Amino acid sequence: MDTGNSDVERALVRKYPGLTVELKPSGSCSISGVICNKGIWRSLKLYLPHYPVLHGFVLYVQFGVEYKIFSPDNLKLQDDWMLEDLLDNLEKILPAKETESISKKPKTTYQGNIYSDILDLRKSKEYRMQIDDDCSVLRLSEFNEHERHYLELEIPSLRVRDHSLPECVSLGEMLTKSARTLEEVINLFRKLLEDLRPFYDNFMDIDELCHVLQPSPATTKHKSRVFPLKDRVYLKLTIGDPFACIASMALQIIGPTDEVAQLRQVLSEGLGNWDSEVDIHKNLLRMFDLCFFPMPDWCDGPKQDEEDNEELRCNICFSYRLDSGEVPLVSCDNPKCVLRCHAGCLKEWFQTQMEGKTFLEVSFGLCPFCKAKLSTSFAALLDE
């Protein structure tokens, strides 16, 4: 490969990081992406059939929702221009009226120029900033020490499009109230990440050291976790208010009736001796007098895929993980019964039995296989 060409390519991408350059073996070159020239963002595609000379180029530039086509016939270039000159002078040679139409497009209450703010803030090492092809969505991600978090804003309005915080955090409202510029929005979001540090720290050990079954996968948005406490018994931890973890924490024991009753006793005594110096995971271990929570039997060999284990499948729908992430956890009070179901499948099944009145003896609460009691604690699996 001609190294001269790839040098040009590298220099170009360094200068306009929003562009991707693709050199074809045939000698042609196509360039696409976004560039900023004199404070104006453009989304473009440029095709050069005789790279590196500009002769015969076709340039597509986005105006509003459509692309306009430019070529040497309707753009005035100087004879000695190379690719870089074309890009550097883009704002000078594109029709003035069109230039206006795109820079006037942002009609909002935003004070200042959002596009120049983006340029200023883009250099920060504290987070990553990406802008989509239409220059209408700005994504901030990879925040220092909060890697999994992200914030997506519509631009130029700065309306929140998506974010990584739990749904109950009314981020849109907070931003409208107290952040006017892009910088203020970013600062507020980062402050919230700091305020929510205890919330995420409490889930950290649980996600790492417990076999979390629900939600699957657990994300930064989720406020609860279901994991095994012992055979056929699960613990569901829910944090109602992420800004007040311990005060809003709820613990539910899910499993056969007798065991749930006993463990609830242990739980209520344990809550009286809560140690606020250590996290929820350590408190729970102490409370249930455990060294660790049960993990799958992966120690003897390679990690076995739970999806392939027939014993773990739902006895109603015969699958393991549903699209919602739910796995079969429900069992009945009879320790010899093989029943294992998704809470949702069982609920649906009981509903059709009752509506159809086919089996009058079947009522919600009895195992469909052995007729033993089904613990009402499993209802806790249904609300998410």
Interface with Zn ion by CB under 5 A: which residues?
A: 314, 316-317, 332, 334, 337, 339, 342, 345, 367, 369-370, 372
Q: CB of 128 within 8 A of CB of 140?
A: yes
Measured from the CB of residue 234, what is the shortest distance to Zn ion in angstroms? 16
Nearer to Zn ion, 237 or 345 (CB): 345
Nearer to Zn ion, 113 or 334 (CB): 334
Tracing tokens 């990584």 back to the chain, one arrives at 164
Nearer to Zn ion, 164 or 315 (CB): 315
Measured from the CB of residue 28, what is the shortest distance to Zn ion in angstroms? 54
How many CB atoms lie under 10 A from the CB of residue 12?
A: 17
Nearer to Zn ion, 249 or 317 (CB): 317
Nearer to Zn ion, 289 or 383 (CB): 383
Measured from the CB of residue 253, what is the shortest distance to Zn ion in angstroms? 19
Q: CB of 259 within 8 A of CB of 273?
A: no
Q: CB of 371 within 8 A of CB of 359?
A: no
Nearer to Zn ion, 46 or 332 (CB): 332
Measured from the CB of residue 25, what is the shortest distance to Zn ion in angstroms? 52
Measured from the CB of residue 325, what is the shortest distance to Zn ion in angstroms? 13
Measured from the CB of residue 231, what is the shortest distance to Zn ion in angstroms? 15
Provide CB contacts within 8 A for 350, sequence distance 6+.
362, 363, 364
Query: Using H for helix, E for strand and C for coil, what is the string for 29-71?
Result: EEEEEEEEECCEEEEEEEEECCCCCCCCCEEEEEECCEEEEEC
Closest CA to 1 of 47, 51, 46: 51
How many CB atoms lie under 10 A from the CB of residue 180?
A: 14
58, β-bridge pairs: 47
